[in-house]
Structure formats: C-alpha cells, structure tokens
Amino acid sequence: MKNLNFKLPLVSLVLILSVVMFSCKKKKTAPTITLNGSSSIALCLGTEYVEAGASATDAYGDPVDVIITGAVNTAQVGTYTVEYTATDKNDNVATEQVTVNVDICVSSMLADYTVSHDCQIDLSVTQIDLVSDNQSVIAGPTENEFVIDGFNAFVNQVPGIINGAAVTIPSNTYTVSIPLVGGIDITIFGSGTINEIGTEMAITYTYDAGLAGSGTCLATYTKQ
C-alpha cells in the first residue's frame, strides 16, 4: 500500500505537467487562416475583382478577426498580392496571401479603334492604304483569337492572335484591282504589343506587293 501511495502523487504530477505543457503549447500556436477562394487568381484586364475574404480560428477553436491588406487594379496589367493577417489574444500572428494576375484577354480588346499609320503603297497612278484609318476588334472563334473588322478597302476582316500583351496577325494575301495597272497580289502579316492599360495597340506590318513594292510599316491602334 505504501508503494501505491507513492505512485499516485507521481501520476498526478505527470498529468498536471502534461496539461500545463499542452496549454502552453496552445498559447504559442498561431491562428489558422482559411481562404474563402483560391490562392491564385487570373483576371482579364478591365474585369472586376471580387474579394472573397477569409476566416481564422485560434488554437482553441475560437474565431479571430482577419485584416485584409493590398489592392488589385484590374485597369492595369500586373501581378497583385492581397495579404490576410490574423492575430489571436496571445499575440500569435498568422498570414496568408492571394496572388492576382491581371492580363490582357480578347475581351479586353473588343472596341472601335482609330488607326494612325504609314502603311501605303505608291503606284504612281494611285496610292493604296494597306490598312484603314478606322477599324474594330471583334471576338474570334477561340479565347485567344480575335478578328480585325474593316481592315482595309479590299479585305474586310483579318484574324489575329494574342498571347498576353503580344499580338500576331497571320499572313493574308488579297488581290487589288487597279485601273491601268491590273491586279496586284498583296501579302501582309504583322506583330506587335498592347500597352498595359489596354488602350493602345502598336502593330508592325510586313507587306509584299511584288513589283509594286515591299517593306514594313507601323500602325498604332487607339481605342475609342
């Protein structure tokens, strides 16, 4: 019985120490933050960013306020960070981040444009504009394809492709009928970029009209 009386206080002491240590560990445990949405978000330029928010609990399961910092400017291409911070009653701090990538999509381009350019061919008897002064961009068949409408007086529509801010106009060949000259085949293609706020597109065109001339020219598209 004496041995039993000696062991009981020892067991009690071990239990008490375990409880104390467990309680101390909880006091030093940072809150847990749960994001209400994804930690990585992709948005098209000009679309709305909707803040999904987050929730947090401390080591005891009690709710903790979450402070959100950081801003997302969907009117400008870029990578933005939104940070979520939770501090419990024991001053333990936890943070989580959401990365928002704003990029140019076809939907960002859809508009009417005024086009300034030096894209002409001088045939002595007349001058041909290779691109029109007023054009429109409309949606193409896939999410990365668009169509330039009203491209010039001889071909109404040409396709285009975007990859981020990069623009590619595949090769197009059309025939221009000129009085006293006859038919001239013109091949034209281009590449360029869109500015970070999506209001201007600069495309360098390369053209070949055979004996009538060949070269490059710059067309700057300004969104109306």
pLDDT for 16 equals: 55
The model's pLDDT over 43-92, given as tens digits with 9 standing for 90+, comes to 999 999 999 999 999 999 999 999 999 999 999 999 999 999 999 999 99
d(CA 134, CA 83): 44
d(CA 174, CA 169): 14
Cross-strand pairs, 214: 208
The model's pLDDT over 158-212, given as tens digits with 9 standing for 90+, comes to 999 999 999 999 999 999 887 766 788 999 999 999 999 999 999 999 999 998 8
The CA dihedral of 138, 141, 144, 148, to the nearest 10 degrees, is -30
d(CA 41, CA 99): 6
3-class state of residue 107 by DSSP: helix
Give the chain's domains with CATH numbers: 30-103 (2.60.40.10), 106-223 (2.40.128)
